[in-house]
Copies of this chain bind each other. A is one copy, B any other.
Amino acid sequence: MMNWEKLARELVQETESKIILLVLDGLGDLPLEGRTPLEAAHKPNLDQLAAKSVCGLTDPIFRGITPGSGPSHLALFGYDPLKYILGRGILEALGLGVEVRGEDLVARGNFATLKDGLIVDRRAGRISSIENEKLCARLNESLRKRKGVGITLFPGKEHRFVARFRGKNLSDSLSDADPQKEKNPLTYTEPLHEEARETAVLINRFIDEVTEILKDSPKANTILLRGFSKLPSLPTFSELYALKAAAIASYPMYKGLARLLGMEVVEANESLEELFLALENNYQKYNFFYLHVKKTDTAGEDGNFEAKKKAIEEVDEFIPRLVALKPEVLVITSDHSTPCLLKSHSWHPNPLLLFSRTCIPDEVEIFTERGCSRGYLGRFEAIYLMPLILAHAGKLKKFGA
């Protein structure tokens, strides 16, 4: 698949045709008492659409690989997830909605407890998110600007935060400043390459400074930093596909990822009504729409079969509004599976339907994992979905003569 990006640059042509990609996060599941949430749900609209569509299954990366949301979305958008690596710090920053620019360095942080030179609690007794916010605010006020590098802490949940270092020539070739196990000494970062030496000095001074400022705090009196990372250099949707793309999503992580790919983010809250209204209201302005629904994944992570079934049924009611827009290509699928049984992402494939004038409707008349496995598209790696979508939208020229 190494050649798709190269081929895309060669074959893509701009057209007026419109594409809607509806991602029901974590949709695929495993049977509970014989049925998956998709099999148990009453969803006449999705099933009717499946009957008119071509169906299949996609493996997010390849068989057996459970992806995080970063790699699974990259693949879904036709970016090689094994080539473009999004560091942990970057993903955490995107998840918190932190603005990250090209030269920024980011890291995931924990507040922790230091006693007699040893880290005795890596999570500072899981301080409250409110206390976390206060600590970050206090540090952001107190910290000195070092050598033209601006440092900002962004609070997350409980003891977690993101540290952003904004300046020139920062390197992310750094080991974690985290002892990993408790009752070990405070650990500093070490440069993994010569070029990272100065950045390491800067970060270690920063750790010392924070520890000094927080020395009287009972629990959160130091920090651990890990997953130092910078943005990878990604071609945008416009460069690669000549698409004017909108991301309609409510969660920061997905909005951040879409921005990385040069999509414009249309804000929407978690209500489906708002999500689909945002699509309708912006339908003239773009020719690619990425719609993200989070509820299916959340229900899977909670192991809540009924909630997942209900989330699917709720989405089903909005399907006629998608069809009514008459996009040239309408795709409904997922980024990865989140089976209730596992309460986590998994490697199981994503059900997929593609509806277009140029699709060959197959025998699949029910939009489920097992239904889609009988689809004409077969089972394939998710990275091949974008070529297929672009082809059906008439946006790919012929290869060779």
Interface with B: A121-129, A179-187, A284-292, A360-368, which one?
Answer: A360-368
When C-beta atoms are compared, the residue in chain B nearest to A7 turns out to be B65
When C-beta atoms are compared, the residue in chain B nearest to A339 turns out to be B358
Structural contact, A370 and B362, CB atoms closer than 8 A:
yes
Residues of B within 8 A of A362 (CB): 370, 373
Structural contact, B389 and A64, CB atoms closer than 8 A:
yes
- Fill in one digit per residue for A32-76: 1 if any B CB lies within 8 Å of its CB, else 0: 000010000000000000000000010001111111111100000
Distance from A18 Cβ to chain B, minimum over Cβ atoms (Å): 17
Structural contact, A398 and B341, CB atoms closer than 8 A:
no
Distance from A157 Cβ to chain B, minimum over Cβ atoms (Å): 15
Structural contact, B401 and A70, CB atoms closer than 8 A:
yes
**Once the chains are docked, how many angstroms separate the CA of A84 from the CA of B170?**
40
**Once the chains are docked, how many angstroms separate the CA of A380 from the CA of B379?**
9
Structural contact, B63 and A384, CB atoms closer than 8 A:
yes
- Fill in one digit per residue for A85-102: 1 if any B CB lies within 8 Å of its CB, else 0: 110100110000000000
| A401 and B91 in contact, given A57-B378, A384-B63 (Cβ under 8 angstroms) | yes
Structural contact, A64 and B387, CB atoms closer than 8 A:
yes
| A398 and B66 in contact, given A360-B30, A362-B373 (Cβ under 8 angstroms) | yes
Distance from A134 Cβ to chain B, minimum over Cβ atoms (Å): 27
**Once the chains are docked, how many angstroms separate the CA of A376 from the CA of B373?**
6
Distance from A2 Cβ to chain B, minimum over Cβ atoms (Å): 9
Interface with B: A192-200, A311-319, A343-351, which one?
Answer: A343-351
Specify which of B63, B360, B396 is in contact with A348 (CB 8 Å cutoff).
B360
User: Is A3's beta carbon under 8 Å from chain B?
Assistant: yes
How many chain A residues touch B (CB < 8 A): the figure is 65
When C-beta atoms are compared, the residue in chain B nearest to A70 turns out to be B400
Structural contact, A69 and B378, CB atoms closer than 8 A:
no
Residues of B within 8 A of A373 (CB): 362, 376, 378
User: Is A377's beta carbon under 8 Å from chain B?
Assistant: yes
User: Is A328's beta carbon under 8 Å from chain B?
Assistant: no
User: Is A324's beta carbon under 8 Å from chain B?
Assistant: no
When C-beta atoms are compared, the residue in chain B nearest to A357 turns out to be B341
Structural contact, B31 and A64, CB atoms closer than 8 A:
no
Residues of B within 8 A of A3 (CB): 82
Structural contact, A360 and B31, CB atoms closer than 8 A:
yes
Q: Beyond the given A64-B391, A66-B398, A373-B378, could you list 12 further A-B residue pairs with CB under 8 A, ordered by the A residue number? A: A31-B360, A63-B380, A63-B385, A66-B397, A67-B399, A81-B399, A81-B400, A344-B398, A346-B358, A348-B360, A362-B373, A370-B376
